[in-house]
Structure 1
């Protein structure tokens, strides 16, 4: 690695770290000012608040790292251009592609770090951040943590359950139905109960106003009981996982969870797939945004660094807009999640190629 490579790479990484250290405390201050009243009302202890802001730091650093990286590259590259350092480097016979090499090395370093964070560190931070937010900072947060009405799940290859309402705190589900089918998709039996309650001590379930209909060739068999204890091969927590459950799982756990939810016919499968695909797309965006930032800021402009930063901020907001819009479309529409998650990178990748060609000229 040459002196120029070390010089640019050092500026690349140090400016990125400084950008994070500058903006994250600002984000924490703004968050505290908005939510301090809710924390005081709920009498949250200082230790819980400290843990929350530690998780907050990791969560938002990972979420916004492409934008911080983008702005930091524009910042220090514009300084190089204004000091005519880039002109001196290119005048020495170094090609623009060779000039880009330390930037690509820096993007690779940041991307690998982001990938490992997304796989292992961010899920834990996301769980702590969201648990605190739903517990203390939202008016009806505990009830919003889970889908609590009209829950339908497939618990095995031929068994399906449905509950009209679900109370996770009490471990009670109302208007419970379990139906089992044979290989020909004909119903074998159906169980109904007005209420089902999980008993933690005995690890079983109590059904109230139990009714079971077993279908026969000539006659159906009916069973009724005001109360019936039984064991099921599902957990009440599985009926309604937290709305942010995918964000709290490590890479291996997330893949297993998605496979299980797909077998169960979960209506939220696209939401979980968006979380999975973003674990790959966010690190890749570091390369694309780095190339765009260098192409935009490597030439001197009349407006100086201010003009480059203005262009960079505008592009950053457009990227965020694309990322949010297509993420929501993947969850709420028929657009394939993989395509929706990667559209921002595809669009900005094309823009990066175009800007890079112009910068070389």
Structure 2
């Protein structure tokens, strides 16, 4: 490696490492803010919190890495141009393409590493991260409950006055509000003490209550009784309640009702899963279609024989045109008047039930399509992160050489602006593709399709010593118009 290549590569790597570490910690702090409710006030030791952040950190690398490359490229090449180092290189016969050669090799190598990181490390970290959140609650069940406030866990709202014991499993002053989904009535349970128990092999949290009372609203069909607001009260010495912790293990960042297994799979596993999901979708779609087709013929028992004869003719696999033409135009005309009302009722019921089957089948198939699209997006994202590294370098390096500004001023403005555009388009494309608005391939690669022409334009202008914007071409028409206007006023005076 020549001295110049070593110098450029060293300058870039130093800047890149500094920027990456700073941005990485900024995004880690954002992660802490997202999960602050799970970490704060839960009596977790430092090692457990460190593992929590360690398993969370790989998923933010796809955000930090392209932004770091973009900012480091602008800063490095901006410094070279600002300090006239590029001018010295060009006077020695070294073009910008030649100066970028060592960095291009480095960026291509970094993109390959990014692909393997996204394919192998991130899925394992995601799996361990979600399981750690589950295990924290199972090993430390008191973590699910904070003193002095109501804690929503499934259909329960639980409040305790004080926690004690080694893991906070002993409770004092327990108040529980239990409400069934969609119900108006509420059940209130109060006890003097309680004890939390859990098992690492189960998603159930067992709560034992001692010396308490049980209040339950009673609903009545009589309006006069409802105004009295009746309730039932009973006391107990010991009561055991099982609380489902499944809702606590859901990902708060993503509110979609789709399984998150796609984030835990590599490319091989995603391809296998996609084949299974597509096969299941095709079978269910065929089943729903067959059910809709056969439904009218399965409900013809109360239909008079003339109508059944006509439907049998239409149901045949090979129906000749002559047979269809011979059918009566007025179907109700072949039925006696006393049977016509019954025929219309059956037809109406068929239409209503078929419409319900079509709507419910369409909804189920749409959810399966969303799940399939999510897996396709997860597959494409592993390649997008690799290409994004290359794209950001070919935007940042020529942009830095054009603007001729290094440091943390103007480069940060350009880098943040470009990355916001990239991230917004990427997020918009993913959401649109997940809702089946566009193909998943286009949704994943939309941001790169939009910014690739910018990278080509900047690289062309930088290698040919053309500025970003020729202000003379923009200002010259205004200057000529102003001069003409000024001269005309001078002559009038």
TM-score bracket for this pair, using the shorter chain length:
0.5 to 0.7
> Counterpart of 2:109?
109
> Counterpart of 1:163?
none
Q: 2:66 touches 2:392 (CA, 8 Å); kept in 1?
A: yes
Is 1:69 aligned to residue 172 of structure 2?
no
Name the stretch that deviates more: 40-49 or 335-344: 40-49
Is 1:96 aligned to residue 96 of structure 2?
yes
| TM superposition score normalised by structure 2 | 0.49
**Equivalences for 1:298-317 in 2 at 5 Å?**
298-301=401-404, 306-317=409-420
Name the stretch that deviates more: 23-32 or 307-316: 23-32
Q: 1:288 touches 1:349 (CA, 8 Å); kept in 2?
A: yes
Q: Which one of 415, 426, 429 corresponds to residue 326 of structure 1?
A: 429
> Counterpart of 1:341?
444
- The alpha-carbon deviation at position 334 of structure 1 amounts to 2.9
Q: Counterparts of 2:446 and 2:422 in 1: how far apart (Å)? A: 10
Distance 1:348 1:30, change over 3 A: closer
Q: Which one of 448, 455, 459 corresponds to residue 356 of structure 1?
A: 459
SS of the residue 2:94 aligns to: coil
Q: Counterparts of 1:16 and 1:304 in 2: how far apart (Å)? A: 13
Distance 1:52 1:141, change over 3 A: farther
Q: Tell me, which stretches of 5 or more residues in structure 2 are unaligned? A: 138-142, 145-150, 156-201, 205-256, 282-367, 465-493
SS of the residue 1:93 aligns to: coil
User: Once superposed, what is the RMSD of the aligned Cα atoms?
Assistant: 2.9
Q: Which one of 241, 265, 269 corresponds to residue 253 of structure 1?
A: 269
Q: Tell me, which stretches of 5 or more residues in structure 1 are unaligned? A: 144-167, 171-240
Distance 1:15 1:352, change over 3 A: same
> Counterpart of 1:280?
383
Residue-by-residue CA offset, 1:258-289 (whole Å, 9 max, x unaligned): 22122122331001100100101110111111
Distance 1:123 1:8, change over 3 A: same
Distance 1:63 1:305, change over 3 A: closer
SS of the residue 1:333 aligns to: coil
| TM superposition score normalised by structure 1 | 0.66
Q: Counterparts of 1:30 and 1:345 in 2: how far apart (Å)? A: 26
> Counterpart of 2:10?
10
Name the stretch that deviates more: 26-35 or 16-25: 26-35
Q: Counterparts of 1:291 and 1:323 in 2: how far apart (Å)? A: 18
SS of the residue 1:335 aligns to: coil
Residue-by-residue CA offset, 1:72-118 (whole Å, 9 max, x unaligned): 21122222222211221122111222222122112112101101111
**Equivalences for 1:168-179 in 2 at 5 Å?**
169=203
Q: Which one of 279, 284, 290 corresponds to residue 263 of structure 1?
A: 279
